[in-house]
Structure 1
């Protein structure tokens, strides 16, 4: 755990979409007040292009980011480990509490493409804002 400022790790399976979105929003909204990273349990090889587009249009950035493998060291170094969605399964690490955000999945209602991504971003933003308010 950190001693100077809270450290957050956002996790999903591929680390190409939702966890990257949460991390980018946390960096945008909190600035230097928190340390933020994201990772995946089975990371892909690239970021989701539509996720990147809606983030950039909202003022958040994933510049320099790429999918990363979640490690035990990341988990041990975090004040908060947040899993987005139901699919990512994390190893149990003694002393590490994991919280899970069940985020809206518009595709289950037949909503796809840009409209889907805007709704996903809005839902993740609500979660991130609540987390940052709690940390303050």
Structure 2
């Protein structure tokens, strides 16, 4: 799913089509705010399809006021983040989009400390905790 967030651009040089991935400037133009990131993520979730975790039904409708999908059969709800890497995160969608872009657009690896620095996120909250 992360690779789908990076739109492909086509450039024509001397009548030859060259494929180019989205760069950071394109990214900033296409996803300028939290709402644009949320809309794109919802669009991708809709394309992939939603399956109810309770009854395996594939028919849902979107509850705009709750920002959640509701199963047509059992009425169980799923948030937009459910069953994704973002499930238990309170970080904004834009943070996730920037992180996904940086991780897929760079040739080398990207440390979590560098990612935190790039996002300007001062506090690190692990998704899980180790209890002894």
Structure number with higher relative contact order (C-alpha < 8 Å, ≥ 6 residues apart): 1
The answer, yes or no, to whether TM exceeds 0.5 is no
Structure number with the higher helix fraction is 1
- Look at both structures and tell me which one has the larger radius of gyration over its CA atoms: 2
TM bin, normalised by shorter chain, reads: under 0.3
Give the TM-score normalised by the residue count of structure 2: 0.26
Please report the TM-score for the alignment, with normalisation by the length of structure 1.
Answer: 0.25
